[in-house]
Every structure is written in C-alpha cells, then in structure tokens.
A and B are shown apart, each in its own frame.
Chain A
Amino acid sequence: METILEILEDIRDDVDYETAEDLVDGKILNSFEVLQVVSELNDAFDIVIPASEVVAENFNSVKAIHALVQSLQ
C-alpha cells in the first residue's frame, strides 16, 4: 500500500490520495498520469497490467489499485 502511495505522490503530489475515490472518473488524473502510474506499478511489483484492466474502476482509489496489484501478483 505504501509503495503505491509513493508512486502516486511521485507522479502528482497535489492530490490527497487517502480520501480520493474518483481519481479517474473525477478527471483528477489525466491519461498521461494514469499510464505513468501503470508503468511504475509494473516495475515496482514486477507485474504486467494489461490494457483491458486499465479501466476507471481499478484506478479510482488507492484501495482499488491495491486490489488490482494483488490480483496480478
């Protein structure tokens, strides 16, 4: 969970990820930023997130991202 927060902070530091529930749907993260998150997650957890999984539900909150990462480990 910590590493995910670090990755997010590294890409966009002006967002309160603790409470955010609509990072993608609320247009807080744009496509460039979402793709950077995916690239960092792939490296950090040595997983491969396929394009079909890069959907709003999986990236709207830190918890959702965490669940996605675990499902691919």
Chain B
Amino acid sequence: MQITSNSFILFLVIGYLLYYIVPSKWQWIVLLGLSYAYYLIVSVPAVVFLLYSTVVTYGCALWIGGLYAKEGADRNASRGKARRVIVLGLLLDFGMLAVLKYSNFMILNLNALFRSHLSLLQLILPLGISYYTFSSAGYLLDVYWERTKPETNFFHYALFVSFFPQMLQGPINRYHSLGVQLTQEHVFSLHSTKQGLERILWGVFKKMILADWAAVYVDVIFADPEHYSGLILIGQLLYAVQLYGDFSGGIDVMIGVAQLFGITLEENFNRPYFAISLADFWRRWHMTLGLWMKDYVMYPLTLSKAMSRLGKKCKKALGRKKGRLIPICISNIIVFLLVGIWHGAGWGFIIWGLYNGLIIAFSNYFADRFAAAKKALHIPEKSALWHIFMVVRTFVITMIGNYVDLTDSFSRMLRMMRYALTRFAPTQILEISSGKLGTAYTPVALGILAAGCILLFAVSLAQERGVRIRDTLSKWPLPVEFGLCLVLLICIPMFSPMAMARGFIYAQF
C-alpha cells in the first residue's frame, strides 16, 4: 500500500477518527489494531515473521529479566546464563533476517566458488523486516544492559515492534523513547494534527516533485550511460536529489503520520548534504541506523576484552595517541561493513560499506596530521571558504559512493567516473522526454526541479541555523500559514511528473 495512495489516506482517516473517539486508555489498542491491519493488507504471510521477531525478543527479554531478578548470591552465574540467552535471542532474531535477505546471495557465491549448482530459494522479503529486526534487537540489548526494564505486557511490546509508520522505511526506534509514548494517553490536539499534516505535505513535496522528477532523468541516463556519457555528472547530482527526496520525503510523511497520533518518532535526517565530513554525514543521514550501530555494535565491540587487549598492545607499539585509535578504527570499519550489508545483499554494497568505513577511520587516525597541515597552510579556523570546501568535498565523497546503486559492473563504474570528469554535455539532457509532450516539456520540468531544489535549500539553510520552520509558521497569522500550505499542496499535482508516484526506493528493504 503506497503511502501516497488513497487506500492509505482512507486507512489513516479511519484510524485517526477511531484513535480519538475511543477512551484514551484504549488508544494503544487502536494503534496495535491499525498496525497489524496495515501489515495484513500489505502482505498476510509477512505477519508471521513480524510475530516471530516479537515473540523471540519478548521472550528472551523476560527470561533475562527473570535471571537478574533472582540474582541473589550468585551474581556471576546468572550473568553467564543471561549472556547465553542474549546470544540465543540475537541469533534467532538476526538469523531470520539473514536467511530471508542474504541466503540467495550466499548461494550465488557458493555456486561461483565451488562451481556447484544450488538452486536459489523462493523467499519473500517481508515488509519492514530490516527495521523491526533492529529495533527489537536493540530493545533486547537494552534489557541485557539493564538500560530498560523488560516489558511484561506482550501486546504493549508487540505495538512497539509493529507500529505501522516505521514499517515502510524506518526510522529504527528505541524502546525507551517510543515504547513509552505508545502506551501513554494522547489528548486530541489540533496543533499537533496541523503540524503533522504540514510535515506530511513537505514529505510528499520532496517525494513527488524532487525525487520523481529527478528519477525521470536518472533512470534514462544510467540505463544507457554510454550514450549519455556527457550527462554522468549531472545524472549523479540528480541521483543525490532523488535519493534524498525519496528517503527523507518518506520519513517526513511517516513522522508526520505518527504526529497525527501524538507520537514523536526519532528524526532520521539532519540536512545531510551540509555535512562537513563523512563522519558528520553519517550523523545526519539515516541517523537512527547510525545511532543503532554506534550503541549496539561499535561501543560494545571497541570495549570488548579482545579489542582492549589489542588497544594496549598498539599503545605500546605506536604510542598512546595512535595506539588507542586502532581498536576504534577497526570497529568503525566493521560497523560500516554491516551498514553496507544492511543496505543489500551484494558485493557492491559490501564495497560501499568498506569505502565509507575506511575513509572515516583514515580521517580520524590521521586527524592530527590533517590539523597540522591546516595550520601550516594558515587556514583560519572559522573561514567560510574552508567550511564550503569541506561541505563540497563530503558531498563528492558521498556521490562517488552512490555509484554502487547506479551500476553493478565495476568496469562500467570506472568508465562512468572517467566520463563524469572528462565529458560534460549538459544540453544533451534536452533529448530526454519527460512527459506526454516529449522533449518539449523537459526545460519546464528542469525548471520545476530547480525551483524545488532552491526551496529545499532555503528551508534547509534556515533549519541549519536553528529555525524551526513549522513553529515559525504557526506564529504567523493563520491565513498566511494556510495560504502557503495550500500553494505548496496545489503545486504538487500541477508540477509533478505524469506517471504515478514511483514506489519508495527504501521500501524494498
């Protein structure tokens, strides 16, 4: 069920009315019903996997809670048992994701390696599995580290795992922030409904104007990169717009939807293209995945006994300053390997993960050298020019990383990179038709896309300076606020591409 489709609108209207009609202590039951209804409408068999993850993590969490509760004298014994339970829980939870998402990839590689002919499995990738597996595993680890008390009410927990706005493309939520909110009673507030609708409108604008127009050209250019070799650079810029518009637009819609129900979801984007370094980019792009990886992989890995021992050895060998960085860099690379694998089962993603991990590790390891070089070149600390340079440099690094999505053959990727630098024929884009009037409509379409990007840039710049757009809007007189929203709403059908809004890229995860 596309989140811009009328059936989803009808689903939301019914859910919204029900939610605020029933006595507020039953609101969470309405949400639970809505979430499972949404899931059943989208794909009935997939509910089994959702229940599987829910039951596994719920059970293990209670088990661990029980072990801690009757600790009594023998603290270590129960800790040992708890460790075994957590390993079991994580294996079962992630095991299912691995089987469904990566078994065919494993089989392909085994076939290639051993010339065997194992047949591929017919597996469905249930909606949202990459998201709820992580949020449920995070909850389990929080219980294991005693950051949260295990939830005793199975249905409360089931709501946390299945809360429908996070189903399509996240964000990956944390129990201590979302779990609590879901079971609280929410008084109807016109203000939060208005702000929710405004956020949805903004998300739909990003999706249907920016992402969909950019996609019209990106699909054509990268379907035949040889013919459009002069457009590779422009195509990459457009792909960066498409990816951001699609992903952050979808997240805006879902955060807006949750806000209609008085629920605040974690933010997933903080204007990533303003990042000054690749590490900063990953604190702004898909934030909940990055934060999840930091809390549940990077920190435990770096502070594990093995890594600590390695750290001590390195300190002796390389000196304190450099030595202590080695374990952190290694776990950072491992983290980004996992991020790459999470994005998809393919060598391209693995390489992309390593690409990101290595660059961040490298820049942190030699941070002192870079700082020294900067001083040597007398670059003033707060110079705007240097800031712009860092932003552009980071943007280029991420664009190079995007090649993984645009082609799956390494040789073509290299050729495309060469074209991007050597050939530049922007007018060739006018050959690409973009609607019923064929190529005649392209200049107008590019104009619309440019105007959209300028609006997005202006809003992002304001947000970067701490302006809270919707709060400011609501301070203005109502006719102005409503007028602006109405104009934006009307621009979408008027200026969006003809074909139906394309499916959300991240929905196939």
Q: Give A residues with C-beta under 8 Å from B.
A: 10, 27, 30-32, 35-36, 38-40, 42-43, 48-52, 54-55
| A49 neighbours in B (Cβ, 8 Å) | 303
> Is there contact, CB below 8 Å, between A52 and B327?
no
CB atoms of A51 and B300 under 8 A apart: yes
B311 at the interface (CB under 8 A from A): yes
A36 to B303, CA, bound (A): 10
Task: A35-B299, A49-B303, A50-B303 are known; give 7 further A-B pairs, CB within 8 A.
Answer: A30-B279, A32-B328, A38-B303, A51-B300, A51-B304, A54-B299, A55-B147
CB closest chain-B residue, reference A10:
B321
Of the residues B145, B283, B321, B328, contact of A35 by C-beta under 8 Å = B328
- Given A30-B279, A40-B324, verify A35-B147 contact (CB < 8 Å): no
On chain B, the residues within 8 Å of A32 by CB distance are 279, 325, 328, 332, 364
A36 and B328 contacting across the interface, CB-CB below 8 Å: yes
Verify A31–B298 contact, CB threshold 8 A. yes
- Which residues on B sit within 8 Å (CB–CB) of A31? 294, 298-299
| A1 to B494 Cα, complex, angstroms | 64
Contact with A along B460-475 (1 / 0, CB 8 A): 0000000000000000
The binding surface of chain B is classed by DSSP as helix
User: From residue A11, how far is it (CB to closest CB) to chain B in Å?
Assistant: 9
Interface centre among B146, B304, B328 (most CB of A within 10 A): B328
Q: How many residues of chain B are within 8 Å of chain A by beta carbon?
A: 25
Q: A30-B279, A31-B294, A42-B308 are in contact. Are A51 and B328 (CB under 8 A)?
A: no
Contacting residues of chain B (285-324) with chain A, CB-CB under 8 angstroms: 294, 298-300, 302-304, 308, 311-312, 315, 320-321, 324
Cα of A66 to Cα of B298 in the assembled complex, Å? 23
Knowing A31-B298, A35-B302, A38-B303, the reply to whether A52 touches B324 (Cβ < 8 A) is no
> Inside 8 A of A43's CB, which chain B residues have their CB?
312, 315
Known contacts: A32-B328, A39-B311, A40-B324. The answer to whether A52 contacts B298 by CB under 8 A is no
Nearest Cβ on chain B to A13's Cβ, whole angstroms: 10
Kindly list the 4 A-B residue pairs having the minimum CB-CB distance in the complex, ordered from nearest: A52-B145, A51-B300, A39-B324, A51-B303
Residues B300 and A36 in contact, CB atoms below 8 Å apart: no
- Residues on the A chain within 8 Å of B283, using CB: 27, 30
Q: How far is B311's CA from A55's CA once the two chains are assembled, in angstroms?
A: 21
